Homo-oligomer: A and B are copies of this chain.
Amino acid sequence: MNKRITVAAGDGIGPEITQSVLRVLEAAGCGLEYDHIEVGEKVYLSGNTSGIPSAAWDVLRRNPILLKGPITTPQGGGYKSLNVTIRKTLGLFANVRPCRSFHPFVRTQHPNMDVVVVRENEEDLYAGIEHRQTTDVYQCLKIITIPGTEKIIRYAFDYARSNGRKKVTCLVKDNIMKVTDGLFADIFRRIGKEYPELDQETQIIDIGTARVATRPERYDVIVTLNLYGDIISDVTAELTGSVGMAGSANIGDRISMFEAIHGSAPDIAGKGIANPSAMLNAACMMLAHMGMPEKAGLIQNAWLCTLEDGIHPADIHQPGVSKVKAGTIVFADAVIERLGRRPSSLQPVQMKGGAMPTYTYQRPVVDRVPCGVDLFVNEATHDADELAHQLQRASGGLLQLKLITNRGVKVWPGGFPETFCTDHWRCRFAGTDVDIKAAKAQYLPIDKATIPALMQRMHDAGVDVVKTENLYLFDGERGFSLGQGE
């Protein structure tokens, strides 16, 4: 791999910790070359709302790696998150967060935890597609894709393999979200077969989070969707007792970004007392990612020896446990002195190595046929039967009304008087040749031209359609969930 990387020192304590980290990398003989770019506060204040100048993009795009210090986003509106911009623009699909405890040097109730959370970074509810549709109802789309899921799951398994991990746990809610989370769990099981040496399990996110919170020691690598990963990675970081020591990686197909989790701490900037550990750990993740796992292990073990020897920066200094309160440079030099040593009480780091494989998506070939449409109708009635009659009249036999639900609860045919109804009705239409009274739900192919035609008829009849979702069969299988009681 190309050994030329981009370095953005960032704001506040960024420059001093970056300098000390590069010093350690050099002493360990990593042989890296650097292109420095300026991002962050100065760039924001110069009038650039995204905090990164155009010229920096060219550098970023040229090198496969960005090592980034913490950023200060100025107060006041209009400034965009630099991380979100970089992540979205460069397609950084995986967020990787190792959460390990360093007890007794950092106090925690879970001295034996060593968990890595691999979080999908681009999809799920975080795609940011939200609509208010009626007076009562607001909606956010949860988007899960085959390539996005294959990519993150393959990455988690490859990460586990090349970092000498033993087990991968997949967290989903597939008992409720059978289509989306079901896809994620299916792909986990399918790809998992290619990694027979790794233990594999799937857990439901609610009880899974409860177990992570009380027994993190039983987890190794966790792979999960964006929202769940957001929650779980904060839980595991907090459990270690040392949010300030952790690095994080954002992995893309061609470019990846490595950084400390903590902020720019302007109050102690320039004083030479900042703890460079988090950025050093991020740099070690970077080295492993670049195919230099032995260098990553060399540095991490020297760093663990430094902790064991009681040489501690101010933020983790504890009377009785610490021996030296070390400044940034003193601490970095202490790590350098210990290169080649292995820790005695803390578990040494061992990596298997190799650069991470790149993933290429092969779109499956499936037969996709429309078989109906869900029309979502705005209507302030409480009478589902009357609404059903109105829709049946309006459709004029083009398609057949099969079901109406309100917030997912069936209200026609055969609703219950207790059901509270909003002004937002999901009205499911199927082909006219379907037996809608059959005990098991049936769907048959329809002519796609009937969908825009149905829309026009609804409009002409004064039905207020606010959104549509077409229904499809994929290789003859239903691609959508049934309504309750359908």
Q: A residues near B, CB below 8 A?
A: 61, 88-91, 93, 109, 122-123, 125-148, 173, 176-180, 183, 205-207, 209-211, 213-214, 227, 230-231, 233-235, 237-239, 252-255, 361, 363-364, 366, 368, 374, 380, 405, 407-409, 416, 418-420, 422-424, 426, 448-449, 451-453, 455-456, 458-459, 465-472, 474, 479-481, 483-484
Contact A142 B141 (CB under 8 A): yes
Contact B459 A409 (CB under 8 A): no
By a CB distance below 8 angstroms, the chain B residues around A207 are: 234
Q: Which of B130, B252, B468 contacts A468 (CB 8 A)?
A: B468
Q: Given the complex of chains A and B, what is the CA–CA distance between A126 and B209 in angstroms?
A: 18
Q: Which of B147, B466, B483 contacts A422 (CB 8 A)?
A: B147
Contact A211 B238 (CB under 8 A): yes
CB distance from A360 to the nearest CB of B (A): 11
Q: Given the complex of chains A and B, what is the CA–CA distance between A230 and B366 in angstroms?
A: 35
Q: Given the complex of chains A and B, what is the CA–CA distance between A178 and B368 in angstroms?
A: 34
Closest to A148 in B: B407
Q: Which of B132, B211, B253 contacts A472 (CB 8 A)?
A: B132
Q: Which of B136, B180, B252 contacts A139 (CB 8 A)?
A: B180
Contact A231 B252 (CB under 8 A): no
By a CB distance below 8 angstroms, the chain B residues around A481 are: 128-131
Q: Given the complex of chains A and B, what is the CA–CA distance between A142 and B237 in angstroms?
A: 28
Contact A132 B210 (CB under 8 A): no
Q: Given the complex of chains A and B, what is the CA–CA distance between A428 and B441 in angstroms?
A: 34
CB distance from A449 to the nearest CB of B (A): 6
By a CB distance below 8 angstroms, the chain B residues around A374 are: 129, 131
Q: Which of B206, B456, B480 contacts A132 (CB 8 A)?
A: B480
Q: Which of B132, B237, B255, B363 contacts A479 (CB 8 A)?
A: B132
Contact A408 B126 (CB under 8 A): yes
CB within 8 Å for A209 and B234 given contacts A131-B469, A137-B143:
yes
CB distance from A226 to the nearest CB of B (A): 9
Contact B180 A140 (CB under 8 A): yes
By a CB distance below 8 angstroms, the chain B residues around A471 are: 131
By a CB distance below 8 angstroms, the chain B residues around A483 are: 128
Contact B133 A426 (CB under 8 A): no
Contact B231 A407 (CB under 8 A): no
User: Nearest 8 CB-CB pairs, A to B?
Assistant: A127-B408, A132-B479, A130-B179, A213-B213, A210-B238, A210-B234, A206-B234, A452-B455
Closest to A449 in B: B459
Q: Given the complex of chains A and B, what is the CA–CA distance between A409 and B468 in angstroms?
A: 22
CB within 8 Å for A363 and B128 given contacts A237-B210, A420-B91, A455-B452:
no
Closest to A422 in B: B145
17 of the cross-chain contacts (CB-CB < 8 Å) are: A88-B484, A91-B409, A125-B176, A129-B469, A130-B180, A130-B481, A131-B481, A133-B479, A145-B424, A173-B230, A206-B230, A210-B235, A254-B418, A453-B456, A466-B469, A467-B467, A468-B468
Contact A452 B448 (CB under 8 A): no
Q: Given the complex of chains A and B, what is the CA–CA distance between A473 and B380 in angstroms?
A: 18
By a CB distance below 8 angstroms, the chain B residues around A255 are: 418
CB within 8 Å for A206 and B180 given contacts A407-B143, A466-B470:
no
Contact A90 B209 (CB under 8 A): no
Closest to A183 in B: B138
Contact B91 A419 (CB under 8 A): yes
Contact B145 A407 (CB under 8 A): yes
Contact A89 B418 (CB under 8 A): yes
Q: Given the complex of chains A and B, what is the CA–CA distance between A138 and B230 in angstroms?
A: 21
CB distance from A319 to the nearest CB of B (A): 23
CB distance from A289 to the nearest CB of B (A): 17
